[in-house]
Amino acid sequence: MKDVVNLVSNLSFFQNPTDIVPINGGITNVNVSVTDGDKKYVVRIGNDIPEHGVMRWNELALSKAAESLGVSPAVIHFEPGILVLEFIEAQTFKEADVRAPKNLMRVISLVARTHRGIGKYLNTPILTFWPFQVNQSYMLRLESDGSPHISKLAELKRQLDLLQDATGQVDLVIGHNDLLAANILDDGDHLWLIDWEYGGFNTPLFDLAGLAGNNGLSIVQEQQVLEQYFDRSWEIYWRPYQAMKCISLMRETLWSMISELYSEIDFDYAAYTSENLNRLDAAISDFQNA
């Protein structure tokens, strides 16, 4: 933490930074809150992460566009490896908060607004996040770098092919692609979506499925989500949605396996891998028995 404090204290942007405090929950970057004068900020510290396809220029472009749309905190300053954001006084959601009926429909409205509006504020190219390619790339890297999970990859590859066939053709939106509960803030009046490092073009089903899989939504809630988002019967989307739910959980599982090998952040990635493998197994079983 001393190195982080020194780094933030010496940023040219700040005049007199004080109260540099870690923000818990980040499992890709180091995040701290900082007070400078009468204002408070969040500083995200992290370089490109090639093994995860994270490119900071892409995160910056999407963060600025999301700010302009009014769904993300303001971007205050950027330099290589550093992103300074407005600090929002808000509650960070937990999985139970996402599942709560009073919140879930608000979250879906936020997701729909983001998908349908953020592109109007982009003035540079951005990446595409195609989850089938992402998962395939992860598996190749796990094989080449000696992951302890190599024995699981043959079955995951077989499932990946079947799930891609079941997904079929897709529409494209600009997705967030990392809808963990911790990336949603509630200031009491307004929901905010943070952490755009995985953002890019994708099918809307990935965000919807990721939201469900990461936060333990019930089947009834999933059907409600589809009907609210598309304003049509959930039955039209159910099969490709279930396939994408498996793909989303597979991506989170493989992400964690990769992080076991590479990440230097103090987090129990092995336990997170195990948790996501259990969720993936349950989702695949539901998909096969539907």
CATH 3.30.465.10 fits 91-289, yes or no: no
Please name the residues in contact with 274: beta carbons below 8 A apart, sequence gap of 6 or more.
none
- According to DSSP, residue 19 is labeled E
Dist CA 176 CA 266 (whole Å): 25
Nearest to 265 by CA among 54, 101, 27, 15: 27
**How far is it, in rounded angstroms, from Cα 41 to Cα 47?**
19
Per-residue pLDDT of the chain (290 residues; tens, 9 = 90+): 678 888 888 898 999 998 999 887 667 788 999 999 999 999 999 999 999 999 999 999 999 999 999 999 999 999 999 999 999 999 999 999 999 999 999 999 999 999 999 999 999 999 999 999 999 999 999 999 999 999 999 999 999 999 999 999 999 999 999 999 999 999 999 999 999 999 999 999 999 999 999 999 999 999 999 999 999 999 999 999 999 999 999 999 999 999 999 998 889 999 999 999 999 999 999 898 87
The tally of CA atoms less than 13 A away on the side-chain side of residue 177 is: 27
Fold of 2-86: Phosphorylase Kinase; domain 1 (3.30.200)
Domains of the chain by residue range: 2-86, 91-289
How far apart are alpha carbons 81 and 170 in whole angstroms? 34
